Structure 1
């Protein structure tokens, strides 16, 4: 059985990627970094698998499903 995808918070994302907070939010706006998920009124996080995919290949990362129809 597959483990559920964890939600990780900004501090963990900063530690894992080595990027600054402002760089992460700029990349989100550009569409070159995974977008946040709203998890409560004042909280948000990221799917751990999305961050892992970005770390594995940051240059060619795209949101899941984008350009899948081009094959």
Structure 2
């Protein structure tokens, strides 16, 4: 990544992080990454949010900053 500019490094890190999360989602949903679609991803985010509300340790996404409410 040393040959990349700051914007390219950011996009590269974002893409790698997204790929890693897609791998987790596909594993938890019992499908391949290629089978994921917007609906499945939204469903997974809702499930992970419920896990976070019930027990922070069981959720994949671990943010708890009230300022990050979407």
> Normalized against structure 2, the TM-score is what?
0.28
Looking at both structures, which has the greater relative contact order when contacts are Cα pairs under 8 Å and sequence separation is at least 6? 1
More helix by share: 2
> Normalized against structure 1, the TM-score is what?
0.28
